[in-house]
Copies of this chain bind each other. A is one copy, B any other.
Amino acid sequence: MQFKVTPWEVRGKINYEKLVKEFGVQKIDNKLLDKIESITGELHFMLRRKIFFAHRDLDFVLNEYEKGNKFFLYTGRAPSGPIHIGHLLPWIFTKWLQDKFDVELWFQFPDEEKFLFKKNLKFEEVEKYLEDNILDVIAIGFDPEKTNIIIDTKHASLLYKEACKIAKRITFSMVKSSFGLKEQSNIGSIFYTAMQAVPAFLPSILKNNKIPCLIPHAIDQDPHFRLSRDIIPKLGYYKPASIQCSFLPPLTGVSGKMSASEKETAIYTTDDEKTIRKKIMKYAFSGGQPTVEEHRKKGGIPEIDVCYQWLRYLFEPDDKKLEKIYYDYKSGKLLTGELKEILIKKISNFLKEHNNKKKKAKKNIDKYFEWFNIS
């Protein structure tokens, strides 16, 4: 099966090597990892494990940082449904970047995006999820003094004019070839990419100072920034850099990406321990053998086992512990059921803590919007 990666669709078994070439991004090499480590003192496990594996101009941003020219982070979330653990992955990494580099984060909620791209979705539906999604983001622990949340429709009096400046330099042919939009696409979806470009230079406008921008995101969003990267410098700002991750595999197998609209593929932040257990027991694609006897003899295949992959992507930051699980599973010492139990416990604990933070987030929410009243 051919794989496909666009900002709106990810399917098939993704060949990341091929994707890197097709998109024209750079892989993060050891030299770059060394440079990051020299600044941060350590490497996040998502860097060590090449979960964040590709970039554009990361070297530029780090060089500027070393010269004392701090960047800001920009990432986002298009609300239209509940948050699952696949969404959390880049945010957890983004928090690490914020802490280690001591930088501002601008977090965009393009509340019109899914409305424009999903046929039957209404704004009322989007709004239902918007605040809850914001609380999930705040629960990650972003510094309220250094984090600013943008909601497209709410803050359009600052965004729309800047988006027009971007839009003037993008033709329909360009979005056609970059995103596969068609003559039958609606004119809101055609315009949308211009809105997504704005936070990459908005802080430079508000502070009246050219500030480098680093965008952590899953690789499927690259086409947006490929287009805007060429345009933003023409408006007098730095070309935004990016650091890109691969996709957390869906529960049902290591192809495609986790999708909020296919319930059996995802664990939501609202799932309780019972639900987590049920989903993992029922749907988690296993690299184990059909019987215990066979498993003991032949061993499992961690590379295709979703439970193992989730530990690697998110829930077991300790490399040594992860390595032990890998070899125990591969040798047949660790059974699929036991591996599942490890993951269930890890996720349950993680989400318990996450939801405690989410409850507390409610009273802090205004802090993340103060930037708009000031500007």
A160 touches B161 (CB 8 A): no
Given A152-B160, A160-B152, A194-B188, A116-B168 contact (CB < 8 Å)? yes
Question: Closest CB of chain B to A193's CB: distance in Å?
Answer: 7
Q: Hey, what's the 0/1 contact readout for A157-193 against B, CB within 8 Å counting as 1?
A: 1011101110111111101100001111111111101
List chain B residues, Cβ under 8 A from A194: 187-188
For A169, give its contact among B175, B176, B186, B190 (CB under 8 Å). Answer: B186
Question: Closest CB of chain B to A85's CB: distance in Å?
Answer: 30
Cα–Cα, bound, A91→B116 (Å): 35
- Copies in the assembly, this chain: 2
> Restricting to A48-107, which residues have a CB under 8 Å from any CB of B?
none
A349 within 8 A of B: no
B184 touches A173 (CB 8 A): yes
Question: Closest CB of chain B to A208's CB: distance in Å?
Answer: 15
Given A116-B164, A157-B157, output 17 extra A-B contacts at Cβ < 8 Å: A112-B164, A115-B164, A153-B160, A155-B157, A156-B157, A156-B160, A163-B188, A167-B186, A168-B188, A168-B189, A171-B186, A172-B172, A172-B187, A173-B184, A187-B190, A187-B193, A188-B191
**Chain A interface residues (CB < 8 Å from chain B):** 112, 115-116, 123, 152-157, 159-161, 163-165, 167-173, 175-176, 181-191, 193-194
